[in-house]
Structure 1
């Protein structure tokens, strides 16, 4: 699974950079045409929204793959999970379920409902924006499974002592 994860990481990294650069260009173009030319391009608003949604969802999947997401450990403390391995598996199961049910399944339903709705000013449908949901959901489910396998094989998150040693 690691070679697939490595390739997927690289693809996500490139897509995020491309989407961010495109977002910056579209917003600068929007501001320029509105403020300097006094004739705003109507499609730039919708294009910026679509780029932002795609960037946010794919960026979230990439951050999750890198294990750089915000760790909310109040639930593991409340459940008194003392084992680091058990905590990692538990958290990744919860994130995987969220990715599968909310993003993947809910996203597929959203895409189906909105695929035929046209967007004014752009040759795309509303469903194309919602397509980011199931794609990021599938990626997050993949990484959740990958992290669970790593945790059960002892290659999960480093211990606090290991992190301190690496920082020094």
Structure 2
């Protein structure tokens, strides 16, 4: 559990930093657009990419803290043993989704954009960097759910 706490702390701090940079970026966009009269050319794109990282990594963070939205009517009305089985099934399904869609699919997306040498228009940043949030988040979700399964068993 010590490693999980460290990952939680690092991920939480990374999300705070991303959010802070995004707020400053949007404030700069508003300032340059309405005060200076000439909007900054990169802020819209940067805000979009920061929002992608914030949302996807935030999903991993919330998954690790078990704070995601869940329909818990059935488990709450079940016995303790059945609740364990339902949780185990849900965690396994989450792992399968994170592995197939996020890690494998996201890695293929990163690889394709890297091979095709695609860059963002304003920032000239490799799009593979933007899309890398998907497999990173998938790996984090898998780690959290495997850890949750160990706690159940």
Work out the CA distance in 2 between the residues paired with 1:104 and 1:73. 27
Match of 1:19 in 2: 18
How far has the Cα of 1:81 moved from its partner? 7.1
Contact residue 26 and residue 48 of structure 1 kept, 8 A: yes
How far has the Cα of 1:121 moved from its partner? 2.2
Match of 2:60 in 1: 61
Match of 1:158 in 2: none
Match of 1:91 in 2: 90
Match of 1:159 in 2: none
Unaligned 5+ residue runs, structure 2? none
How far has the Cα of 1:151 moved from its partner? 1.2
Match of 1:10 in 2: 9
TM-score, normalisation: structure 2: 0.91
TM-score, normalisation: structure 1: 0.83
How far has the Cα of 1:73 moved from its partner? 4.4
Which secondary structure state, in structure 1, belongs to the residue aligned with residue 120 of structure 2?
coil
Match of 2:149 in 1: 148
Work out the CA distance in 1 between the residues paired with 2:111 and 2:18. 24
Match of 1:117 in 2: 118
Q: Deviations over 1:97-151 (max 9, x none)?
A: 1111111111001101112201122141111110000000000011110111111
Work out the CA distance in 2 between the residues paired with 1:16 and 1:125. 21
User: How many residues end up aligned between the 2 structures?
Assistant: 148
Contact residue 104 and residue 135 of structure 1 kept, 8 A: yes
Task: Report the more deviating stretch, 106-115 or 81-90.
Answer: 81-90
How far has the Cα of 1:16 moved from its partner? 0.5
Contact residue 58 and residue 132 of structure 1 kept, 8 A: yes
Runs of 4+ in structure 1 over 4 Å off: none
Task: Report the more deviating stretch, 111-120 or 61-70.
Answer: 111-120
Unaligned 5+ residue runs, structure 1? 153-168
